[in-house]
């Protein structure tokens, strides 16, 4: 199976669709899940969302409640976003020549690793917000690579703001972007201001409709409560780490290996550093702003997909790499079905 995704062929997307289709069929045939949303009155709207959902997701879930309340339509809608995120991640890595080979393995791993918990089979603010975050990462990589475009910096701020309006804790990733600018870009000072302006401009535009409906204060209150809500659930977090233990161990081994970047190009070294930071912030998000939802592992899984791909491509014995990939797929499905036991 790994050899199929190892080729840089756009038609490998059909293989990604097949993985999504088969896993969803197995889930609905064996587990037979039902979507459970709680209706909450906030910002003057009756909507379906979790505690950290941003205003845009609240509006979306309210307007599409007839879809999100149906298990099959909800899973279909989520599958579209999962496929989109997987191909976005893959495109970012291919465009930046992140590995010696251009492959569809990162996309396949993202889909496989997301399958470890039932929360990831349905729509969530984390899932949709990750799309905006990935687009931000794409603009970030372009800026770190070429460092000559104010438009890319402005677009980076705008897309990150959109991601935070969908899932409020993603507002903290503005700090991540600023740190990456500081450490790896050497950009001029005005681009820091341009990044902040792009971020604030989108927030102001989203705020205006609430002003006209005389709920401007409620907008900022709900947005702030979303990204300032912290909670550490030790038992739940331990169970989740157990479920992702193998890919986490593989990623740790890959991330600490070759710290000097021997045999890697400057672009590859930068990409690795960026995904190391993404993984670190993903751990913080998972630990303190998860709301006991496995969907909060989305950002961490982006980093796990990158580092696990690096590991698999570095394995000299192809049969061992094939076995590892197939083992991860079987393990994620086993964790999904056995999770009620631990």
49 — pLDDT class (breaks 50, 70, 90): very low
Mean pLDDT over 252-273 rounds to 82
Please identify which residue in the block is written with the tokens 């690795």. Answer: 272
293: left (phi over 0), alpha (psi -120 to 50) or beta: beta
Instruction: Please tell me the number of Cα atoms within 13 Å of 222 on its side-chain side.
Output: 28
d(CA 74, CA 46): 19
The pair of structure tokens assigned to 176 is: 């991540």
Q: What is the pLDDT of residues 166-193, one digit of tens each?
A: 998 999 999 999 999 888 877 777 888 9
Kindly indicate the confidence band of residue 307, based on its pLDDT and cuts at 50, 70 and 90: very high
Task: Please name every residue paired with 231 in a beta bridge, in sequence order, or none if there are none.
Answer: 289
Taking the whole predicted model, whether its pTM rises above 0.85 is answered as yes
Residue 221 has a CB neighbour count (10 Å cut-off) of: 13
Q: Could you give the count of Cα atoms lying within 13 Å of 98 in the half-sphere of its Cβ? A: 28
Task: List the domain boundaries for the chain.
Answer: 2-341
Token duo for residue 149: 């475009």
pLDDT at 16: 92
What pLDDT score was predicted for residue 51?
64
HSE toward the beta carbon, residue 42, CA cutoff 13 A: 25
Cα distances from 205 to residues 54, 62, 80, 120, 254, in angstroms, run 14, 20, 27, 30, 42
CA distance 277 to 281: 6
pLDDT tens for each residue of 268-277: 888 999 999 9
Structure-block tokens of residue 111: 């889909």
Please write the tens of the pLDDT for every residue from 137-153: 999 998 888 876 788 89
CB 27 within 8 A of CB 335: no
pLDDT tens-digit series, residues 2-33: 778 888 777 888 999 999 998 888 888 877 66
Rounded Cα–Cα distance for residues 117 and 219 (Å): 32
Q: Two tokens at 214?
A: 């005389």
Which residue from 256, 260, 253, 264 is spatially nearest to 96, judged by alpha carbons?
264
**104-113, 287-296, 316-325 — most confident range:** 104-113
Structural element, H or E, at residue 141: helix 125-146
Give me the pLDDT at residue 232, please. 79
Checking if the pLDDT of 132 tops 90, the result is yes
pLDDT at site 185: 79
**How many C-beta atoms surround the C-beta of residue 63 within 10 A?**
12
CB of 222 within 8 A of CB of 55? yes
Name which residue leads in pLDDT, 174 or 59: 174
């Amino acid at each position: 199976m790994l050899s199929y995704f190892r080729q840089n062929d756009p038609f490998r997307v059909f293989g990604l669709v097949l993985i999504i289709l088969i896993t969803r069929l197995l889930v609905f045939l064996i587990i037979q899940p039902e979507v459970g949303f709680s209706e909450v009155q906030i910002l003057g709207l009756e909507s379906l969302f979790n505690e950290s959902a941003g205003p845009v997701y609240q509006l979306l879930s309210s307007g599409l409640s007839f879809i999100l309340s149906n298990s099959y339509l909800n899973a279909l809608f989520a599958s579209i976003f999962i496929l989109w995120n997987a191909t976005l991640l893959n495109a970012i890595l291919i465009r930046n020549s992140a590995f010696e080979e251009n492959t569809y393995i990162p996309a396949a791993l993202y889909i496989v690793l997301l399958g470890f918990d039932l929360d990831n089979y349905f729509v969530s603010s984390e899932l949709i917000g990750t799309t905006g975050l990935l687009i931000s990462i794409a603009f970030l990589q372009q800026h770190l690579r070429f460092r000559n475009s104010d438009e890319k910096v402005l677009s980076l701020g705008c897309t990150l703001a959109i991601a935070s309006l969908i899932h409020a804790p993603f507002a903290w990733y503005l700090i991540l972007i600023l740190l990456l600018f500081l450490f790896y870009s050497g950009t001029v000072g005005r681009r820091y201001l341009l990044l902040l302006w792009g971020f604030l401009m989108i927030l102001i535009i989203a705020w205006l409709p609430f002003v006209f409906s005389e709920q401007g204060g409620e907008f900022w209150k709900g947005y702030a409560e979303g990204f300032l809500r912290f909670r550490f659930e030790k038992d739940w977090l331990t169970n989740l780490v157990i479920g992702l233990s193998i890919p986490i161990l593989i990623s740790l081994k890959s991330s600490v290996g070759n710290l000097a970047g021997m045999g890697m190009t400057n672009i590859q070294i930068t990409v690795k550093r960026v995904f190391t930071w993404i993984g670190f912030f993903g751990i913080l998000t998972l630990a303190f702003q998860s709301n006991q939802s496995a969907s909060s592992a989305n950002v961490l899984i982006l980093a796990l997909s990158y580092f696990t791909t690096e590991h698999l491509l570095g394995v000299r014995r192809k049969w061992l790499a094939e076995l590892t990939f197939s083992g991860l797929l079987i393990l994620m499905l086993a964790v999904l079905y056995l999770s009620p036991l631990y």
